[in-house]
Chain A
């Protein structure tokens, strides 16, 4: 038996796997963004019970490892009789993970809008919904851009954890090729470079947005 070497085809395989990493990131950001947005709004609700429920959700998600969420959605649900494709379990758990953090980031952004903006809009007879829609969220949205893009970097890297349930994204693809070639340095440096190529521009974008915001 001869070992394969890490060549052009293998690199192509990594690039293909990178697509899955990116797809998973996009799913996590869209799904987690929608869910997180709802939780952030709930967290700033004027009803105490809703605030409390949202706060508990955030605490629980942030208080357990992503891995546990992943295991719960993959093994847990399949035990309950749902045969889930790995992409579904991976997407669901990354969505839940992302929502818990984005909710907290965005809560902070909503609360960073000065209290006086609430008072001024309230005094103009706006409903609470109108205050959010026309006055508070546009300002919070601007504030939220740098930390949100910054967090996206974490999501890209954390998708690697889904390799554990056999989802072939970039990290898992690296493992597979390493098993076939046993050239860990070449393989994992290639994998690391690919992650870096995605994450570095995002980090720079986040910093640029932040500078622009404070200009």
Chain B
């Protein structure tokens, strides 16, 4: 059963058409990597999936919720779909523990002992159990990003979206975040990630999608796609990534 269905989605910012009819289907437990140059529409596509950007036409269904209903429908969708951003976006006035416990408590109505247990559990998962009482600005970028992942996981999402989550990190910190994501993938989480980490996409993603000029230019199982790119654009893109 597909966990994510995107059907013929169009999206424009003013006169600029960013997505020109994009369709894809993600099965439960699959990991999709979206790659492509900046401006190719991959981040916009991801942000459309949880309603941060409104689509102009087409259909998106994710974790059993259709996009485009009223505010309440959108919230129930978002409760099932986690997203992690490039800039972490932790709440700076709250401790790590409070960052994680807030949404489960006020959105799902969980009790304090319950949320505390969830918080400890997800922090354990990202390897930051000892940071429960720290504030975000006391953590490194990599640690903040792992907390952001933990904060999303505390909502028990069915799908996780990652929007260039390691782009602001230096290589060493990138590695610790990618390890957490790889663990998630192994545990069977359905994931869609916009990334510039080609080796990670090749190794962890079940499918890789190359976006170009607002369309899906080339797609397929990651190993094949990287080993044997069909279009000159993808060949060029893969080659330019070998630094």
- Chain A residues proximal to chain B, CB less than 8 Å: 114, 116-117, 119-127, 130, 134-135, 138-139, 142
Residues 76-124 of B contacting A (Cβ, < 8 Å):
76, 78-79, 82-83, 85, 87, 89-93, 102-103, 106-107
Bound-state CA distance A135–B90 (Å) is: 10
Is B89 a contact partner of A120 (Cβ separation < 8 A)? yes
Asked if B106 and A116 sit within 8 Å, CB to CB, the answer is no
Query: Contact check: which of A119, A134, A139 meets B52 at CB < 8 Å?
Result: A119
Instruction: Count A-B pairs with CB separation below 8 Å.
Output: 52
Contact flags B186-217 to A (C-beta < 8 A → 1, else 0) = 00000000000000000000000000000000
A130 to B83, CA, bound (A): 18
Q: Which of B27-81 contact A (CB under 8 A)?
A: 50, 52, 71, 75-76, 78-79
Contact of A127 among B75, B87, B91, B155 (CB under 8 A): B75
Are the C-beta atoms of B52 and A124 separated by less than 8 Å?
no
Known contacts A120-B91, A138-B93, A142-B93; A125 and B52 CB within 8 A of each other: no
Chain A residues within 8 Å of B102, by CB = 124, 134
Out of B71, B82, B89, B103, name the residue touching A119 (CB < 8 Å): B89
Please, could you name 5 A-B residue pairs with CB atoms under 8 Å apart, sorted by A? A117-B89, A117-B91, A124-B107, A125-B79, A126-B75
B13 to chain A, nearest CB (A): 15
Q: How far is the CA of A104 from the CA of B82 in the complex (A)?
A: 35
A142 to B71, CA, bound (A): 29
CB-CB nearest 6 A-B residue pairs: A120-B89, A124-B103, A125-B79, A125-B78, A116-B89, A125-B75
Q: Which residues of A contact B106 (CB under 8 A)?
A: 126, 130, 134
Give the interface of B toward A (CB within 8 A).
Answer: 50, 52, 71, 75-76, 78-79, 82-83, 85, 87, 89-93, 102-103, 106-107, 151-152, 155
By a CB distance below 8 angstroms, the chain B residues around A119 are 52, 85, 89
Specify which of B50, B85, B91 is in contact with A135 (CB 8 Å cutoff): B91
Question: Are A139 and B93 in contact, CB atoms less than 8 angstroms apart?
Answer: yes
Q: Is the CB of A124 within 8 A of B93?
A: no
Closest to B106 in A: A130
Q: For the complex, give the distance between the alpha carbons of A47 and B142 in Å.
A: 38
> Would you give the shortest CB distance from B146 to chain A, in whole angstroms?
15
- A125→B89 contact, CB < 8 A: no
**Among B87, B92, B155, contact of A124 (Cβ-Cβ < 8 Å):** B155
Q: Which of A114, A125, A142 contacts B103 (CB 8 A)?
A: A125
Query: In the complex, what residues of A have CB within 8 A of residue B76's CB?
Result: 125
**Other than the known A123-B50, A125-B76, what 14 A-B pairs have Cβ atoms closer than 8 Å?**
A116-B87, A120-B89, A122-B52, A123-B52, A123-B83, A124-B102, A124-B103, A124-B151, A126-B75, A126-B103, A130-B106, A130-B107, A134-B102, A139-B93
Complexed CA–CA distance, A127 and B109 (Å): 13
Residues of A within 8 A of B89 (CB): 114, 116-117, 119-120
Interface centre among B71, B75, B151, B155 (most CB of A within 10 A): B75
Q: Chain B residues near A123 (CB, 8 Å)?
A: 50, 52, 78, 82-83
Residues of A within 8 A of B71 (CB): 127
B85 touches A126 (CB 8 A): no
**Taking CB as reference atom, which chain A residue is nearest B91?**
A135
Task: Indicate the member of B79, B82, B83, B106 with the most A CB atoms within 10 Å.
Answer: B106
Which residues of the partner chain B approach A126 to less than 8 Å between Cβ atoms? 75, 103, 106-107
Residue of B76, B85, B89, B90 with highest tally of chain A CB at under 10 A: B89
**In the complex, residue of chain A having the shortest beta-carbon distance to the beta carbon of B154:** A124
Assembly CA distance A160 to B29 (angstroms): 70
Question: In the complex, what distance in Å separates the CA atom of A184 from the CA atom of B38?
Answer: 72
* Across-interface contacts of A130 in B (CB, < 8 A): 106-107
